[in-house]
Chain A
């Protein structure tokens, strides 16, 4: 390989633009710089964990039949409230946007037991310290016919899945 470099370099030398020494310096410099960049990038990649603890963010909540029209059902452990209106299904987070307590589901909306935040049926803040409305999660129909909630994907309030 070095033989090849020498030939290339000697070819270049005749033109007088760069000599062999500077090509080698450039080569080593570039390689070291490249390694540095890759190390830096891998450091940043390393910061983000590949797997997280706790329940997976995309999960199945069972058949649509399990939720008759008019249902507002909180699923403990998953921290979502499944709402079905006619043949439309949505999932609203039950994690309070204030300090992360689990909000209670009532007829009129949601109420946080910790600091008294209140939300209406769509999760919009109506009182208390909560800074934002409750997020809605994406719901889709899995190939096996189950409803699937993706707690990583927020959708705008009022987005329903028609089943």
Chain B
């Protein structure tokens, strides 16, 4: 018993001692002692030596209050020699901050004068990190990339391994310079300026809002994106938008690594208010901004007088080709505009510019906020693109016109298919191809399918060419021999008059039978929809529903859509009158507005 007590109390004593020692002896104390000893050696006169001899280690801190939120930077507790020119090039942590003309430091009378005095600016405003941290773990982490100048809020060692390599180097410092130094300042920030240009050239501005720069509303506001995210996250979001947000519809732009780097630097610099601005300056800037409403243009170039030429400059300047194909430029994300004048009329282009989702409800094209004359000029330019593409045999027609969406193998996975909703039809599915009348396919090719990305090709293709393409699809892609579509007895028009009672009955049937896939809102996003390809139709797609006749919709309900998950409901006891009620319900979305 006594032995146990003796051992226990000894252990308590040892633990106490260890805790006491670790709490009273700090890394920064040792660094300061090392500094004092070394400075003693470097001292040139007795006064200096006496001054050093009287110094004891103590917590040093810089409190920067002159701009923005007050910062408490205790970095100088360890990096105590940071402003001592004798320690330039010394081993860390006792290295003096380098002097450099790039940072605005001046060399006069054999002595450097700093532009950014540490007593005024502190450390973390440029270097990030946690200024209050008193050991390296809390201040900047055990960093394997030390001594890269940018520390980052959390240690780089925790960064995504995949994107870590390109995230090294002094260039990223520009993002921190740009917090205060506005563009057009004398400070040279080449990567940042390039990133800002790319933000427009890659049409990021169309979806994303940034204070003072852009008005996009489809994607997240990026005004403070640099405050929220680390460099590796920004990099990942640019090169693989769905990595963190699986439902993101942000396209994967074709960016080179150096372009991603510039964009990351630009985005990291977006941290809300400029701490160097006074509140009066900020207020004035905001007041001036509201006067100049609308989208900031990419270029401030002089526009030609001729409306078509002006439209061409605008279309180029607004970076339409960041997504669309236009001549030899191809963004690889959206349809080809090279002969748009043959495909769409002025009214359609003009309406689509102003609100793409009125004509194609699930389009991801941003609603740009250009001025009316700009829209008109761009519409005129697109309408003027009437040079038909060079077309040869049906295989070449398919390659030139169809493969961009439907894919080289006809399976509906063309390069831009990922960004189209509804997705392009999979033409290899024999069940679907054999269940429809060929005349319907020719009609779809020539007139297009309203409410989807399928345009009417009749400006480019004649009746025979359309038939030839259809034959080509059949012979090359469809895996089964061609059969004649079964004749089905479907009423030509809706047998039930659209009344409130009929719509109520339709709604009840819809809730019982359809919501699993088409969703309670009938927007095609029901709980089962994620497992189904092609996705269930969005029944709120007004242009599609309005343009499709009763017969076709009733046939789809009663006999199903072969090659998709839509079952023939007639087999499950649905009568033609029930289908009529459903149809009235579905059509009621459009009339109700």
Residues in A lying within 8 Å of B, measured CB to CB:
1-2, 5, 21, 24-25, 27-29, 31-32, 34-35, 38-39, 41-42, 45, 50-51, 54-56, 58-60, 63, 140-146, 153
Contact = CB atoms under 8 A, between A and B. Distances in A.
A145 B83 CA distance: 10
Interface stretch (B59-67, B277-285, B476-484): B59-67
Contact of A34 (B13, B51, B54): B13
A34 B2 contact: no
Given A1-B7, A41-B20, A144 B85 contact: yes
A21 B6 CA distance: 10
B196 interface: no
Contacts of A144: 83-85, 111-112
Contact of A143 (B5, B23, B86): B86
A50 B135 CA distance: 14
Interface of B: 2-3, 5-10, 12-13, 16-17, 19-20, 23-24, 39, 47-48, 51, 54, 59-63, 74, 83-86, 111-113, 117, 119, 134
A32 B7 CA distance: 11
Contacts of B20: 38, 41-42
Contact of A51 (B5, B61, B113): B61
Nearest to A143: B84
Contact of B9 (A35, A38, A45, A59): A35
Contacts of B12: 31-32, 35
Contacts of B74: 51
A5 B2 CA distance: 12
A138 to B, nearest CB: 9
Given A50-B59, A142-B84, 13 more contacts: A2-B7, A25-B2, A27-B9, A27-B10, A28-B2, A28-B10, A31-B6, A31-B12, A38-B16, A45-B24, A55-B63, A142-B83, A153-B54
Interface centre among B48, B51, B117 (most CB of A within 10 A): B51
Given A28-B6, A39-B16, A51 B59 contact: yes
Contact of B6 (A24, A45, A51, A54): A24
Contacts of B6: 5, 24, 27-28, 31
Given A25-B2, A56-B63, A140 B51 contact: yes
15 contacts: A2-B7, A5-B3, A24-B6, A27-B6, A27-B9, A27-B10, A31-B10, A35-B12, A41-B20, A50-B59, A51-B74, A56-B60, A58-B60, A60-B117, A140-B47
A56 B61 contact: yes
Nearest to B54: A153
A41 to B, nearest CB: 7
A57 to B, nearest CB: 9
B58 to A, nearest CB: 9
A12 B84 CA distance: 61
Contacts of B113: 63
B79 to A, nearest CB: 14
Contacts of B16: 34-35, 38-39
